[in-house]
């Protein structure tokens, strides 16, 4: 009996002093997947438009992060839904939510503000709010983006004509009211264009002329796509993890140097 008791005591001490075996399972981080929703200032470069989307997806993301651009020329917050684009965005979220952390950028305003669209600021705001709700319901993370500035100047010294201020303010108000992520591309792009001036800003024009100061050429997409990326990185650590830095371009953007 004494032998058994001693053996039991030794066994108990051994268990108490034993170091637990290391866990072999590792926390699985799902790669980011970005779905871009918007008008021509998000869309791929083509004869009728071009935005920041291609530069963002192709030049700022670190593999295996990826995404798809659903930007569509001429779309408003109404026609993007009515024409079926929004349904495709939500389908994209559904198909990737199990394998990826899905982020949906939402940027409108350029066409919503036009009289022909007949969309009030209140309706614009309500449409953005519904987009946010839809993305969350589908299993994604919405990121509202204030509209890219137009690169039209006025005055002496020349300054950007801030004709999207109402849409910028409405977008931010919606994001704050719904506790949604957002980035202020309008302010950042306005500040950068003011810093470098008209001639340097027009280098990014789609057709290399001063006539189209709305759409971006291929390099303009890289530059303003980097602005979007840097804005996200500044605010959201989980997105920073999936971002491939470009220290030179970021320095130029931060210091108002023509890129």
Asked whether residue 118 is domain-assigned, the answer is yes
- Inside any domain, residue 93: yes
Q: Are 210 and 219 in contact (CB under 8 A)?
A: no
Compute CA distances 157 → 17, 198, 213, 255, whole Å.
76, 10, 18, 19
The reported pLDDT for the residue numbered 63 is 97
Q: What is the CATH number of the domain that holds 179?
A: 3.40.50.1110
Instruction: Tell me how many helices (H) and strands (E) the chain has.
Output: 10, 7
Q: How many residues does the chain have?
A: 259
Query: Distance (Å, rounded) from C-alpha 33 to C-alpha 95?
Result: 11
- Whole-number average pLDDT of the chain: 91
Residues of the chain below pLDDT 70: 1-28, 208-210
* % of the chain exceeding 90 in pLDDT: 86
Cα gap 40→38, rounded to integer Å: 7
CB 177 within 8 A of CB 165: no
Model pLDDT, residue 15: 41
CA dihedral (113, 119, 124, 126) in degrees, to 10, reads 170
Give the model's pLDDT for residue 210. 66
Please tell me the predicted confidence (pLDDT) of residue 184.
98
- Per-residue pLDDT at 209: 67
- Tokens encoding 239: 């997105």
Domain for residue 12, yes or no? no
How many domains are there within the chain? Answer: 1
Closest residue by Cα to residue 201 from 187, 185, 217: 217
Q: 181-192 pLDDT, tens per residue?
A: 999 999 999 999
What are the φ and ψ backbone dihedral angles of 25, each rounded to 5 degrees?
Answer: -75, 135
pLDDT of 6: 40
* Domain contains 42: yes
| pLDDT, position 48 | 79
Distance CA 112, CA 110 (A): 6
Residue 117: inside a domain? yes
Pairing relationship of beta strands 101-107 and 66-69 according to DSSP bridges: unpaired
Range of 38's domain?
A: 29-254
The reply to whether 23 falls in a domain is no
Indicate whether 24 belongs to any domain.
no
From 248, 110, 253, select the one nearest 194 (Cα to Cα): 253
Does residue 92 fall inside a structural domain?
Answer: yes
Q: Is residue 215 a contact partner of residue 50, using CB atoms and an 8 Å limit?
A: yes
């Amino acid at each position: 009996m004494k032998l058994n008791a001693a053996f039991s005591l030794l066994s108990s001490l051994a268990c108490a002093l034993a170091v637990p075996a290391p866990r072999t399972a590792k926390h699985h981080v799902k790669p980011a997947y970005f779905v871009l929703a918007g008008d021509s200032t998000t869309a791929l470069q083509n004869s009728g438009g071009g935005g920041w989307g291609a530069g963002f997806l192709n030049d700022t993301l670190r593999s295996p992060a990826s995404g798809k651009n659903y930007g569509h020329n001429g779309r408003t917050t109404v026609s993007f839904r009515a024409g079926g684009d929004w349904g495709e965005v939500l389908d994209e979220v559904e198909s990737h939510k199990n394998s990826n952390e899905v982020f949906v950028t939402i940027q409108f305003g350029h066409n919503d503000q036009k009289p022909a669209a007949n969309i009030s600021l209140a309706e614009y705001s309500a449409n953005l709010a519904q987009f946010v709700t839809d993305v969350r319901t589908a299993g994604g993370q919405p990121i509202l983006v204030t509209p890219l500035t137009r690169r039209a100047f006025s005055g002496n010294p020349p300054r950007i004509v801030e004709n999207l201020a109402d849409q910028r303010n409405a977008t931010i108000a919606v994001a704050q009211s719904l506790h949604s992520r957002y980035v202020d591309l309008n302010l950042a792009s306005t500040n950068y264009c003011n810093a470098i001036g008209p001639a340097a800003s027009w280098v990014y024009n789609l057709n290399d002329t001063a006539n189209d100061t709305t759409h971006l050429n291929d390099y303009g997409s890289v530059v303003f796509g980097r602005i979007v990326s840097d804005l996200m990185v500044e605010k959201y650590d989980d997105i920073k993890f999936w971002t491939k830095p470009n220290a030179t371009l970021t320095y130029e953007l931060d210091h108002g140097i023509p890129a």
